[in-house]
Structure 1
Amino acid sequence: MLPAMADCPQTSLVAVAGRSPERARRFADRFGCDAATMEGLLERADIDAVYISLPPSLHGEWAARALHAGKHVLVEKPIATTAAEARTVVELAADRDLVLRENFMFLHHPQHEAVAAMIAQGRLGELRAFRGAFCFPPLPEQDIRYVPELGGGALLDAGVYPLRAAAMLLGPGLRVAGATARVRRSDGLDLSGQALLVSPSGVLASVEFGFEHTYGSSYSLWGAGARVTVDRAFTPPAGYRPEVVLEEQDHVEKFTLPAADQLDRSLTGFAQAVAAGGAAASPGETRWRQDAVAMMELVDAVRTQAVRVTVDG
């Protein structure tokens, strides 16, 4: 994010902060900005907005601190670790008319707009099913995603991606019908899982996630007339040209789309909302906040309903 901020014409990188003053200073020297303590950064009058890249268990707390300090907030996903915490932060942003966005960068990639256009044009026929997956190999043993106290686990790190994609394409009102999780014997941390959902219109959805797999990042939508598939759905590199595949009974079309930098688009969209004068001046901000809470409601439901399988890990 720091290189993106330094390169974005709509942002000026003012200061970085972290738990280690030495590391903060190294980053500050590299990117030509000030180093600060986390508390000190929020007290600065020359800062309009902050980006929060802390572990998930600290997202809600520090987003709230930044909002109390009058700063607009771009916070890494997920916005919090529970729906209740998400609601608290969202209500605070609304009360203070501050922009609050959850940094799901993939939402800003135009390949998903191409899929939505196919749905709107009736290319798939009536939708029947959605399937999404985001999985990758085991992480280094010391990775924070293996620390329960920091909001670790596969659901909060990987599962939120296909859940968010399902909500993006199927609309609000998704309900969790069932879930399973493979959890670590030593502490119950979830290493992988799956969930079944249903939309208000009756579209069935399944999502898979985890960090004990070979890499996979995709989703597909199946309709009465055709199926569309998107590979590298969540983390396409900036120079990657996506290929969207449409399969009909006796016909296959492949659409190669222009490359797009979803990180830059996410940052630019946030900066534009801030520059417009805050949340009230950007009507779309209400939807961002509603979607963030709805996402955590799905996460809570997956947690509650998951049948847990204990594994060594």
Structure 2
Amino acid sequence: MTSRRKFIRKPLATLAFFMLSAQLSGSVMAAEFTARIGHLESDQQSRHVYLEKVAAIVAQKSDGAVEFQLFPQGQLGGQREMTEGVQLGTLEATVSPAAFLGGFNSTVSILDIPFLLPSDELAAQSLRDGPFGEALLHSFDAKGVKAIALWPNGRKHFTSNKSLDNIAAFGGQKFRVMDSKILIEQFDALGASAIALPFSELYTSLQTGVVDGQENPLDTIQRMKFFEVQKYLVLSGHGAMEDVVLFNPGWWDSIGAQNQAIITDAFHTVVPALTAHKAQAVKAALDDISQSDISVRKISEEERSTLRGLMFDKARAAYIDRAGEDGKALMDVYDSAYDAL
């Protein structure tokens, strides 16, 4: 009987020892700083895939001191709620499309200007990494958030139910845009009209002829099936779709300079792979779209230059009118950086 009790007690004691060890280990390895990061894309899209990679890098480089918890697909609310949460400190971070931040920080609407970024991705990244990108990120400081990185998230292209064989063909057509004076001016420069409509109404509006066309990245055009109700697609790459990485300043200040550097470096380190992953998704979308009856053409470099000449200055003027002196100052930084490419 005694031997049996010893036999039972020994494994129980061993189990208790391992449970205690696991608890102690867990407490030792628990992150000192935890950031919940919310965003709108699915867990299959580039933004989330590379947030996971950033989270892994940060955990490794900080020896587990910093943990990122990721919440895709608007689990923490719409973009406005998440941005306000980061500002108020109820959320540590968000990765937001710049297009959703214009009402929060009008300076960032510079990214609405067509052909702002060069078509060459290395040159575009040079602008993000240089004085222009730094000044754009710094513009968020006065808004109560800490912007630490710009992430590329594709380019916009034109579609329509009417021919887009040349620049003159844009004249008289109606295009859906987000509610942005800059985007309205870009179409006005082509002799077209722009109508601000909710994204949720776009498919039906194209189908019923409320508008003739629209502008969006290829993966959005494919995922939302816009190509099913459009006849022409022009691969223009005229509009930059950029993400802005925002942190709550109180949380950011609390983690110390070393962890700040680790996080900033991680977001920048993955950009080449992020860009390649996005390009692969765009190629897959174009392959799918090309199987339909839609007519697809790519603009030439000469046509790109002509379109930029027509659209850029009017959109630029609308931007400065909206963003004021801060916008003009950022535009001056952009001009110098662009001319230096």
TM-score surpassing 0.5? no
- Whose relative contact order is higher, 1 or 2, with alpha carbons under 8 Å and at least 6 apart? 2
Q: Which has the higher strand share?
A: 1
Q: Which has the larger radius of gyration?
A: 2
Q: Which structure shows the higher helix fraction?
A: 2
